[in-house]
Structures are given as structure tokens and as C-alpha cells.
Structure 1
């Protein structure tokens, strides 16, 4: 019989989920978006919240609804399809982008403000030390990570609360002019910028872990699991929304003190230095470095465990492989890494969204395998075209996709995915009508 969680356990479950989400990307993107959107801050923030808060919540509910992760979502298709999608997401949130980003953010906020002459050499030294510690903790996990994790999240929340209060009580700063895409369509730009947190992709991966936690606590009913996942998701969503809104306004209030900054880490450091002085900068640096370190350890561990389950090289070897790749990638600049990751995310996100849409529509679909395959193919093809478009590659080929609605807004995947889904829904209705006619005959 399925058990019920106490109120305390339910709240703890929600705060744990919030801690899972709270990482480097959650801290660096909102300040830059707030600065660059200027007078268009409000629509930019609304678009950002949809993809950075709403999509992860929807992904978690989808996982709870189907009772498992990507393998359950792709059931009926060849096993390699689910494996390929999961492996790609693990690489993206692992050594390719998200994990190296933790080292870069830690360097930008934890070291650069205190260096007289930051250079590529200081970045190399810092990232070597950072990933060496992360590797040791991933290889020999112990109580240290639990202690740091439990102390870290409340401390970071307190600091972000102080930032939010400072924005409210500080003298009003005139909003700057919106720049680039933020001036043309702030809402859509914010919507796409929310992809960069990678939380929706992360939700598809560790959502399975959350279901397993509920099962170990005796919550075996799928309906109860979905309900608790929803409650936890709402708690996490409220926390993330608070963080994002605060940091958007921090960026908006930094038009004078960080006008030339090209990443959110530099903006946040400049703002804290201006408002709280050297002591505030030290506290911010310590907390962010620890937050990035714990995130790096968690992502490295998840990557190594997954790939060791598929290719038996040994957990230790996969940790070392991940750390080596991270060290190389982390010696790009933060702006360069973000620019490289954008085309890749525009390829991966449509596939993830197609899976989530399919899960919710699945009960009403008859030809499930055909429908899902068509949805994934449509998402993949248009996603690749969008990624090539952003990267400025294969433009004659990409031009052929411009007839798709919303393709210029990098959301051309919506039409083929919905068209394939509509086929699946109509097919079932026709099947029922035919069965009814046969019965009446």
C-alpha cells in the first residue's frame, strides 16, 4: 500500500529539488538579461520565467506521470533511441557545457574581482585547482558534501534575499536602453534565454531519481508520486522564480556600474561590490564557488554513473574522463562557452519538449510508436536547422526551413511536432468511429 508523506517530508522533498536546480546557470543569466533588456525588462523576464521555471516543472510532472525517465518516455521505439537521447543530455549537462560552466562562473565571481591582472594563465591555474577538488570529491564522496550542501543552499538564499532587498531600498537607477534582440522582441529573447539554464534537461535526468526516492519512502502509487512531484515542483519553482526575479532587477539596476559587462558573473560581482563593499564581495565569492563546486561534483557523478552503466570502463575512469574534458572546455571564456552552447541547445531542447508533449497526450494516442517517432524526427530535423541557423552554417539549406511559422524565433519545431501529434490523435478518433460503425452493423 502506498504511503503518504508528512508535511515536513513533503517540504524537505521540495527544498531538495530546489537545491538540485540551483546552480551556476541560475545565477549568471538573469543579471545579464536584466541589464541588456533595459526598459523591456518586464516582458524579457516573463519569457525567461516560462522556460527557466515552467518547463522544468512540466518535465518533472511528465516523468511522474509516466513513472520513469527517458527510457519510459521512448518505450516502443528501439532501445538505442532512448539511450542516444539520454546520453546526449548527459553530455550536454556534463563535460560539454554545464559542468565546465561551473568552473568558469566560480572563476568569474570567486577570483577575477580579487585579481589585479586576470589572464588566461590565472584562469588555467584556478580551473585546475577547481576541477581537481571536484574530482577528488566525486571519487571519494563522503559527509563533507552533505555538510556543505546543507549549509550552502540556505546561505545562498540569504545572500540572494539580501540582494533583492537592496534593489528595493537602493536609490532608483534609470533603466538603460534595450540592446540587440532585446530591443526587437524582448519576450521571445527571454524565452530562448531561459533554455540556457539547462534546468529542463536536468529535470528529465534527475526526475527519475526523485521518483526512486519517493518509491524508497513507500510512495508507490503513480498518482501519489505525480502529486508529490507537483508539490515539490511548485516549491522549487517558487524558489527559482524568486532568484530569477531578484537577479533580473539586479541586472537592471547595474546599468551604470556594469555597463560594459559581457556576462552575468561580472555584473553580479560589480553590483555586490558597489552595494556591500569588499566584505560582501568575499561572501558572494565564497558561496558561489561552493555552489559551483557542489554542482560540478553532482554532475560529474551523474555523468560517470550513467556512462559506466552503459560502457564498463569503471566509475573512476569515467570521472577522470569527465574532469579532463571539463578542464579543457573551462579554459574558454564564459562568453565563448555560452555562444558555443546555444546552437547545441537549440537542437536538444525541441527533442526534449517533443517527449514531454507526447507523455501528456499519450493516453489519447492509438498509433503511439509511429506518432512518437514522427514527433521526434520533426523535432530533430527542425532543431538541427535552427542550430545551424544560429551558428551561421549551411545557410542555403537552412533557408528552406524559413517557411515554417516561428522558425525565425527558433521555435520552428512546434509545427511538425504538433502536426505529428494531431495525426496520432485523429487516428485514434477514426479508429473508434470505425469500431462503433462495425458494432452497429
Structure 2
């Protein structure tokens, strides 16, 4: 396995992770953290970069990726959870969200359009291009790693270099939520990228890509995937720090509500109208590469589960479904997806941690069963709370759990359940 293939696989993985959400979270964190920016961005990188890297490593160490990880709990759970993951981050959320964000934050920054027809025409072109880039699975790393990622990095570098040469550092007091524990706040902000879940699918994209390049030995596949993860993680960390720094030093005299507004203003200050074109190009490239990766991952997975339908057939299905969902609008997409993401995120994290744990201490089935049962109950109840149908008394009791106010009340109970399951399995 050549170093060139590993390098381009790392570039591909970087682009798959670097979607619109990753673009807009760091600048807003930079603006709000002020003088405690360093502590906040370090916390952000731990969960926004290091946690997805651990997931990539966990997938690489599992024989069949997400599917085999879930089957350690139960074969039915393995298939059901894998299907939920791929549908949630794929057809129901990630794919149409990428197209909508590319339209609203990319295309509309350059062209003043209104109505549903421009969105339909844009999505037609966007998904047509996505299909052409995704339809040949053996070429995905070539297209994304060798063409799209360098283009994205060049455009980002133009923005970063100009910003570093233009903007100057001044003292700024942090927003209230960053004043006491900026590292912890940044740590929880990193969860919002949702890359720890996406890594469950993207890890398989890289493994399959390396196989297509001729890697057959399991150790080479694991080593190549881990090195690709390290390359992507280094790139993400550098880009996050740069984006956060832009938000930190951007001069502004008006209220900015999110990272997209910060980058639009920064691009306009640095390049005038050309800045709108620059920012629009960054967003569209970032969303396009993410969309290609998601469609490739989903099509390959479902082709393995239902081989009667070809990879190209599933690619076409996900392209068409993604286009239909895109034209429903971003607000409706988020309304549908948020409960799904709230449900799958904690289960995914626990599954990844247990998968890594077993490589040091051995596999214990009860450890998986107990921990996943507990975290699933917590995740299901969190979904109920999003619909305001939780139980007040139970919420009051659960509020005593550590990290509950951050939506991580499941952490300690799941850890205890895993420990009990580990001990019980050893005794039996």
C-alpha cells in the first residue's frame, strides 16, 4: 500500500468530515470565547476531532465496521442500528442537509434568487454532479482526495492567509457561557459537529477505498485507515483553529447570530463581492464532498445487505431520495432529523468506547448488552423530552446525574452498566 494512496485517503476523509456544520461552528466559538479562545478551541478539538478519530480506529479494528460492532450486542440489534445510522446520517438528514446548506449558504451568497424553482434547479445540478462522482465506488478517493479536497484546501488557504495578514488581535471579554469553564464549554460544543456518528460510515468508505487500491492484508488496511484518520484529524484541527481565530479577531459593530454570518462578513471585508464568491465556493465544495461520501457509504452498505440491487442502483436511489428531501426545505429536514440524532448519538459513542475497550481487555458480551440497554433507555427518554412528553418527577431525579444539564446524563449509568456486565461475564 503506497504512501500516496494513504495521503489521498486522508484528504478524502478530511473532506467527508468537513461539511457546512464544521465550517460554521468554530467561528462562532471564536467570537463568543474572546480572551479564553485557546481553552475553548482545545476543548472543541477534543470532541470535534479526537472523538471521530477514535471512531475511525474502532471501525478499522472491527472486521465489518459498524455492522460487526453492533452485532456484539445482538445480531438483530447490529442490523437494525446500522440501518438507522445510515438512514439518519444519509437519506433522512446528511444528504439533503448538505444540498440545502450548499444552496442557502453557498449559491444564495452569490445569486439573489427567490422561490422554490431555483432550489429545484440547483438540487438537480448538485445531485447530478454528486451521482457522477459517486457512481463508480473505486474512483471516489480519486475524485474527492485528488481533485475536490485540494480545491477546497486552496480556497480555504486564500481566506485564512488574507485574514491573518489583515485582522489584528484585540482584547475581548468572553460571552457569559464561556467565562467560568471555557474548556468544558468548548468540549461540549464539539459534540454538535456529529462527526463521531458520521465516522461510523466514513471509516468504511476509507477501508473500501484502500481495498479498491489493492490493499488486501488486514494489518495494512487497519494501518492505512488509522494513518488516514490521523491525516484528516490534523487537517481538521488546523482548519478549526484558523476558522475559530477568524471569529475571534473579526472586527464588527453589529450582532452576529451564527458562524455563517461571521464568515460572510469576514469574506466581504477581505475581498468585497469576491468574498461572497469565495465563501460560496467553500460551502458548495464542503457540502459536495460530504454528500459524495455519504452516498458512497450508504450505497455500499445497503448493497451488502441487499445484493440483488446493485451499488449503482442504490446510488441512484439515494440521489433521488436526497433530492426529494432537499426540496422540502432545511427547516423541515432538521425537524425530522433532530429526534433521530438525539437517539443515535449516545448509543454510537458507547458502542465506540466499548469496541476500543475490548481490544485491551477482551470482548465481554454482557458488557455490551448491559451498557447499550441502559444508554438506549436514556436516549429514548431524551427523544420523549424533545416532544415535551417527559415526566417532571423523573426529570427532577435524573437532574442529579453528572453532566445531565449538557444532555450527557447517560454517561455515568452506561459506564456503571458496562462495568457490571464485564464483571458478570467474567464470573459466568
Distance 2:353 2:406 in 1: 20
* Structure 1 position 402 matched with structure 2 position 399: yes
Query: Is the CA contact 1:175–1:252 (under 8 Å) kept in the aligned structure 2?
Result: no
Matched residue, 1:434:
none
Q: Where in structure 2 are the equivalents of 1:11-410 lying within 5 Å?
A: 11-116=7-112, 118=114, 122-135=118-131, 138=134, 146-147=142-143, 150-172=146-168, 174=170, 178-179=174-175, 181-182=177-178, 186-214=182-210, 217-218=214-215, 220-222=217-219, 224-254=220-250, 256=252, 259-262=255-258, 264-311=259-306, 318-319=314-315, 321-327=317-323, 329-331=325-327, 341-362=337-358, 368-389=364-385, 392-396=388-392, 397-410=394-407
**Unaligned regions of 5+ residues in structure 2, if any?**
none
**What TM-score, normalized by structure 2, do the two folds share?**
0.84
CA drift of 1:55 comes to 1.0
CA distance in 1 between counterparts of 2:391 and 2:118 reads: 39
Unpaired runs of 5+ residues, structure 1, are: 432-441
* CA deviation profile, 1:389-416 (whole Å, cap 9, x unmatched): 4564425254442232211121112112
Q: 1:149 to 1:74 in 2, by over 3 A?
A: closer
- How many Å separate the matches in 1 of 2:281 and 2:117? 21
How far off its partner does 1:360 sit?
2.2
Aligned length, in residue pairs: 425
SS at match of 1:74: helix
Question: Which of 163-172 and 5-14 deviates more?
Answer: 5-14
Taking the aligned partners of 1:177 and 1:336, their CA distance within structure 2 comes to 36
Query: Whole-Å Cα distance in 1 between the matches of residues 221 and 4 of structure 2?
Result: 16
Structure 1 runs (4+) deviating above 6 angstroms are 140-145
How far, CA to CA, are the matches of 1:137 and 1:229 in structure 2? 22
CA distance in 1, matches of 2:372, 2:98: 30
CA RMSD between the two structures: 3.5
CA contact (8 A) 2:264 2:275 kept: no
Moved more, 116-125 or 405-414: 116-125
Which string of whole-angstrom CA distances, capped at 9 and with x for unpartnered residues, describes residues 114-154 of structure 1? 34465666545534543354356556889799457523211
After TM superposition, the score normalised by the length of structure 1 is: 0.82
Bigger Rg, structure 1 or 2:
1
Task: Indicate if the aligned counterparts of 2:370 and 2:421 stay in contact, CA closer than 8 A.
Answer: no
Return closer, same or farther for 1:250/1:171 CA change in 2, 3 Å cut-off.
closer
Change in Cα spacing, 1:47 to 1:339, as seen in structure 2 (3 Å) is: farther
Sort the Cα spacing of 1:92 and 1:39 in 2 relative to 1 into closer, same or farther, 3 A.
Answer: farther
